[in-house]
Structure 1
């Protein structure tokens, strides 16, 4: 087994969880906040997808699907195109309202781009330093694990909120 096969499996598990959260969800459930300043399922799925899209495009040297495939315009969110949700306020979180089908479509496109990129990598590629602003410098493998970890945390949070509905 190659190291990238483990990453592909991990991202596949996130995909299954994203779909489990979105399957049959109502618009009210998507924007429900279990506490006044809590994130919503809509924001969590959008944010994990935006982060993955932006970071995979960066390391792959490709255009983000957010702009390149027109998702920015289809979502119609009141944020500048580079926004990924990082550091957003509770008021901004509340502004992420989208149909579950659109969230799933954007996620699926991002997932497909991620898997395609991973399939083209070798184990040696994962050792390539991509960011020397850290000590130790960040390798591609470490960045990919970081993306996967962030996605797993956010989809877990979304699953928790979804579970509140029984």
Structure 2
């Protein structure tokens, strides 16, 4: 198994796990919060897809599917189209309203773009430095693992939140 295939397996798991966290969720559940500063399921799902899309597209030298495939218009969120959720306020988190099928559709599109990119990579490509602003400089492989780790962490948060919300019902 090549390194890119390992990464593809990891990115492929994100959708499976997020689907489980969103299964059967209506708008009330998707926007519920255990406290006023907590993230919502809708925001977590949107953020997972946005982070992957916004981080991988420049590496692949393609336009983000968010804008290229019209997802920004479908979501119609009150943010700049470049927003990914990073640094957003609790009020911003509360502004993300979208049904589960839209959230998962966007993630599927972002993941498809990621997997298409990974198919083109060789093991040697993963050693290419993509960011000199760190010590040590960041390679493509490290950047992709970082994106994968961030997404999986947020999917875990969504699964935990779903469990809390289900028990509170």
In the alignment, structure 1 residue 5 sits paired with structure 2 residue 14: no
Cα deviation for residue 6 of structure 1 reads 1.1
CA contact (8 A) 2:15 2:104 kept: no
Q: Alignment RMSD, CA only?
A: 0.8
Q: What is residue 15 of structure 2 aligned with on the other side?
A: 15
- Large movers: runs of 4+ above 3 Å: none
Q: Which runs of 5+ in 1 are unaligned?
A: none
The 1-side partners of 2:59 and 2:78 are apart by 27
Once the two structures are superposed, residues 89-145 of structure 1 have per-residue CA deviations (whole angstroms, 9 ceiling, x without a partner) of 000000001011110110100111111111110000000000101111110000000
Q: Which runs of 5+ in 2 are unaligned?
A: none
In the alignment, structure 1 residue 141 sits paired with structure 2 residue 141: yes
How many pairs does the alignment contain? 166
TM-score (norm 2): 0.96
Alignment of 1:1-166 (within 5 A): 1-164=1-164, 165-166=166-167
